Structure 1
């Protein structure tokens, strides 16, 4: 093979690429033409902003009215509300506590039920000791009273103070502990 022939073979792929590149623009001109047409035809429409309303400051004129931020007024109102609403739930703190009132409810587990002389009892385990609980009995640290004992749960009505100091009622439940969960 001659030297010119070798050079031609080396340059053949480069020449083929140049010929193919020159054949078309890849559709770029069509896209540019379309974009110019859309840009020319599109008219943006922006709604004008509404007119600003003038600000009219409120002039406070006490004119002998009570001070709205007075601590005395606030304390008086809180005492009046506490007397009107919170006293109906206030527990008797002077009575002696029962044994189960010394334990929080979350330390108690219901492990079963039994019936004696027509009275339904729940068996409650605290640590390793088991206690019998019936409706009407006091339980828990929040002045709780057992309202109902069923085969699956103990229903309790507790009385506690909220953030404002009012005594409010809330319902609590201790459900039967399933021994299958622990593998016992």
Structure 2
């Protein structure tokens, strides 16, 4: 039997010779060359680690002070003396008068939608959150802070509200409802 009579054997021999010749070369020769080059490089000095400051814990020094979430224990007279204000300003809401429909709503939820004028009388048209339009004039009340309507212009309704002052009394505060566009 000759080599040419068995083509599969011939092919197998050729593949074996190629595989063995491929194993004889060093596949990591380029890696070896690179590691030698790195080893031969001049080494630079490593910088020293920075010096760390020790952690200083926070010391809470306000433990002896008054708790800001509790009501102060001083009286209204002490507060008035401390603030150089008179003890009673005389301003307080009239709890005896009947409440008006617009006093059920917060002032910022009310919208002025227009004005009406007849002879000397001016009225403002106020829309509440329910969609109802109310006709008001100076002397009427609106908002939840006892807001009395003082003046009506074509652009706004001016009110004076009576609000708590935080120390047991009442103060007046100016407010307005501007016309909606």
TM-score category by the smaller chain? 0.5 to 0.7
Helix, strand or coil: the match of 1:113?
strand
Q: 2:119 aligns with which of 117, 120, 128?
A: 117
Q: Distance in 2 between matches of 1:26 and 1:148?
A: 95
**Rg comparison, structure with higher value:** 2
TM-score, normalisation: structure 2: 0.54
> Is 1:38 the counterpart of 2:37 in the alignment?
no
Displacement after TM superposition at 1:156 (Å): 2.7
What is the distance in 2 between the residues matched to 1:162 and 1:14?
98
1:43-94 CA-to-partner distances (Å, cap 9, x unmatched) read 5675998xxxxxxxxxxxxxxxxxxxxxxxx44x433435845632632426
Shift in alpha-carbon separation, 1:95–1:23, aligned structure 2, 3 A: same
Q: Does the CA contact (< 8 Å) of 1:142 and 1:160 recur in 2? A: yes
- 2:30 counterpart residue number: 20
Q: Equivalent of 2:16, from 7, 10, 31?
A: 7
Contact preservation (8 Å) 1:98, 1:139 = no
CA offsets 1:19-52 (integer angstroms, 9 cap, x no match): 3322313975488x54xx332xx45675998xxx
Tell me the residue number matched to 1:145.
148
Aligned residues: 149
Structure 1's unaligned 5+ residue stretches are 50-73, 179-184
Q: Tell me how far 1:129 sits from its aligned partner.
A: 4.0
Structure 2 stretches of 5 or more lacking a match? 1-9, 55-72
Q: 1:167 — aligned with what?
A: 170
Alignment partner, residue 59 of structure 2: none
TM-score by length of 1: 0.54
On the 8 A contact 2:123/2:136 being kept in 1, the answer is yes
